[in-house]
């Protein structure tokens, strides 16, 4: 199923690129390592980084940019499908200079590996900035909004943002982090608590002009190589159950939010439904290894000394947690053109035209 859908999606993408691109002046990315393009490189105290080999082995010139991937990630492919070269650059790489007055300003990536909806997620010390949590990412977005207003005026800035796309991929680190926490939130309260915080962040983004949201839900995190290690090679059911519950909760949240705010449009991507069938039936996909990490053994991060698979396009997972470039391409293509099984109430290409 996944292989067939990807073929159909990629063949249709070419046909919609031009019209979608015309409707998208900029793309803004918020979230975690699934869409981070190097934010943590600029955090001196962060140990959640990927700016070293073997990361980037399939990126142009084999550059390790900070992406947790052998090449491009989901943010890059989504941007490419809208006519961009790849994801916009990291906010922190701009050093406070957005160059909004320049004609080529087309968005920013705020995502930070290890971050989550909760401020505490990914932070190993209250005194140091290990990651940029969602709350801080939203604040950075507000800074962009203020710069746009200063440069273009309020009306033009709001029109610019209303046509732009806001992609958010977050929640996995909150779920996994809480599972291993010494003081976890009770199981029945985890997802409702995360939804409350997510709603707060979305409302803040709306107040700063965001109108079109591409929400990427949590994938089956219990099937990552790192989690299989602790479950005797099987997927960790508790984490997958929470990932599914997260999507259902976000579905309700986004329905209510769009009902309340009539000018809000959204596409809620079901990363669980996209990925789990591949894991369960790899023979129906182009992947032959859906359990192991291509880089490393699943228990340790990808480093220059880690083992590296040679047939990377056959692996679903790049390292302990993250997808390979081919897996990210597949996910992005289905988010872009997939049907209601994978994106609701519309897909990303339809979101651009909404």
**Burial code of 44-60, b = ≥16 C-beta within 10 A, e = fewer?**
eebebbbeebbbbbbbe
Q: pTM of the prediction?
A: 0.94
Count the alpha carbons within 13 Å of 266 in the hemisphere toward its beta carbon: 25
Question: In whole angstroms, what is the distance from residue 354 CA to residue 96 CA?
Answer: 32
Adjacent-strand bridge partners of 90:
109
26-to-3, 18, 84, 262, 353 alpha-carbon distances in Å: 30, 14, 9, 22, 14
Residue 297: pLDDT band (50, 70, 90) is confident
- Residue 1: its pLDDT value, please? 44
C-alpha of 289 from chain center: 22
Catalytic amino acids?
33, 319, 322
Q: Summarize pLDDT for 10-22 with one digit per residue, the tens.
A: 555 545 554 445 5
76-90: string of b/e by CB count within 10 Å (b at 16+)? bbbbbbbebebbbeb
Give the CATH number of domain 23-288+323-351: 3.40.50.1110
The pLDDT tens digits for 127-169 are 567 999 999 999 999 999 999 999 889 999 999 999 999 999 9
pLDDT band at 178 (very low <50, low <70, confident <90, very high): very high
Domain boundaries, the chain: 23-288+323-351
């Amino acid at each position: 199923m996944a292989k067939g859908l990807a073929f159909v999606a990629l063949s249709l993408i070419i046909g919609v690129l031009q019209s979608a691109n015309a409707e998208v002046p900029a793309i803004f990315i918020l979230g975690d390592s699934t869409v981070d393009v190097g934010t943590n490189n600029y955090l001196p105290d962060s140990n959640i980084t990927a700016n070293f080999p073997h990361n980037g082995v399939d990126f142009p010139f084999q550059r390790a940019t900070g992406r947790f991937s052998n090449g491009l990630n989901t943010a890059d492919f989504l941007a490419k499908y809208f006519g961009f070269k790849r994801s916009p650059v990291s906010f922190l790489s701009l050093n406070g200079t957005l160059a909004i007055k320049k004609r080529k300003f087309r968005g920013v990536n705020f995502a930070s590996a290890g971050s989550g909806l909760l401020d505490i997620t990914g932070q190993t010390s209250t005194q140091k900035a290990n990651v940029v949590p969602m709350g801080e990412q939203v604040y950075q977005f507000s800074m962009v909004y203020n710069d746009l207003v200063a440069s273009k005026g309020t009306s033009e800035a709001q029109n610019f943002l209303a046509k732009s796309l806001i992609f958010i991929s977050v929640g996995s680190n909150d779920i996994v982090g809480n599972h291993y926490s010494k003081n976890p939130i009770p199981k029945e309260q985890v997802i409702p608590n995360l939804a409350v915080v997510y709603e707060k962040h979305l409302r803040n983004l709306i107040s700063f002009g965001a109108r079109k949201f591409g929400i990427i839900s949590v994938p089956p995190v219990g099937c990552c190589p790192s989690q299989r290690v602790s479950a005797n090679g099987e997927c960790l059911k508790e984490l997958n159950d929470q990932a599914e519950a997260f999507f259902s909760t976000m579905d309700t949240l986004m329905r209510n939010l769009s009902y309340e705010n009539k000018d809000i449009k959204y596409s809620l991507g079901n990363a669980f439904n996209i990925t789990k069938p591949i894991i369960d039936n790899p023979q129906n996909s182009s992947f032959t290894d859906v359990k192991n990490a291509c880089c490393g053994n699943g228990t340790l991060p990808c480093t220059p000394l880690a083992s590296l698979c040679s047939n990377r396009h056959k692996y679903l997972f790049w390292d302990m947690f993250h997808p390979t470039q081919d897996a990210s391409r597949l996910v992005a293509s289905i988010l872009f053109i997939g049907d209601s099984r994978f994106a609701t109430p519309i897909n990303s290409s339809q979101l651009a035209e909404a």
